Structure formats: C-alpha cells, structure tokens
Amino acid sequence: MDELSDIALLERLQQADASAYTEIFHRYWEKLYAIAYNRLRVRTAAEDVVQEVLASLWARREVLEIRHLSGYLATATRYAVFRQISRLLPDQPLDNPEVMQQVAAPDMDHLDYYRLQERLGAEIARLPEKCRLVFLYSRKEQYSNKEIAAAMQLSEKTVEAHLTKALKQLRVRLKDVYPYLSFFF
C-alpha cells in the first residue's frame, strides 16, 4: 500500500478499502497532528482534531471529490482546529492575550482576533447572495463543488465561478489582513 499514489489510495478508499484508509492514516497522521498542535498547543486537543478529520474522511468517502489529498486534509484540519477552539473556549473572548497565545499564529499576538472575525463576517455578508452561499458551503461546511451544485441546483462550473469570484473579492477587500486569514483561502 505504501507504494500507491494518493489518487490510487483515494480510489480504493471510495470503494471502502480499509487498508487504503489505514495507509492514508499512517501517511498523513503526523503532518495533520503538527498542523493542529501548532495552533492548539494542547496534545489531546490536536489528537482529537486529527481523529475528527480522518473519521470524516472515512464517513464521507463516497461523496468527497478530492483532487489533492494532502491539501484537502491540511485544509480540513485547519477548519477542525477552529471548531475545536470554539468547543474548548466557548465563553472566552478571543481578544484575550492568554487565549490568543493558544490559538493564534505567532505573529498574531497583538491582533484583535475578535475584530478580525467580525470583519471577515462583514465582508462575507457583502458578497452577492449566491457567491456568499457557495463560499460558506465550501469553506464552512466543507462541501465539494459537486455537493454544492446539487444543493443549490447549479452546474459545477457555475459553482466554481461563484467560488472564484467570492475568493477574489475577499482577497481584495481583506488584503491588509490576508496573512491572518489564509486558512479560509
């Protein structure tokens, strides 16, 4: 199994091949753990995030359309980290410096994280309706383009066009804080 490409592993995974899933687990667990731990700095929380991502991969294996496994898993891990943060710190203001040390990138320690989230939310709200919905399905719900197309009764090309437009507008509007929002783009 360790000689198979990611594409071959994904094909076998979609056919419910447990050995392909095991290989993906062994191939990517350390990398995903490093991503999660780098943000959370709590071993058990990082392990929970990796387990959540890999369990979701297995559970959704038949509907996922993944072109680049490593990129998909890294992005899914970043989103899972932020879900984990909201579970770990539900009543904590994210602009508290002690909380920031746990969740932020090293160069974000003086950034008002709460305001950053508000600004991102405001810019997402300014997007045209379909662009906004496509963006939220893609980035927040982690739907594939095919799943979004089915949910919104659009073609996949239209979904891609809306997502491209949304990302372009957000990058332009948020260019001054873009490095802090790379997990969305």
Share of the chain above pLDDT 90, in %: 44
Instruction: Give residue 178's pLDDT band: very low, low, confident or very high (50, 70, 90).
Output: low
- The identity of residue 95, as a single letter, is D
What's the pLDDT score for residue 105? 46
Q: What is the DSSP letter of 136?
A: I
What's the pLDDT score for residue 37? 87
Q: At CB < 8 A and 24+ separation, what contacts does 145-150 make?
A: 145/65, 146/63, 146/65, 147/63
Q: What is the pLDDT of residues 131-176, one digit of tens each?
A: 999 998 888 777 899 999 999 999 999 999 999 999 899 888 887 7
Q: How far is CA 103 from the centre of its chain?
A: 15
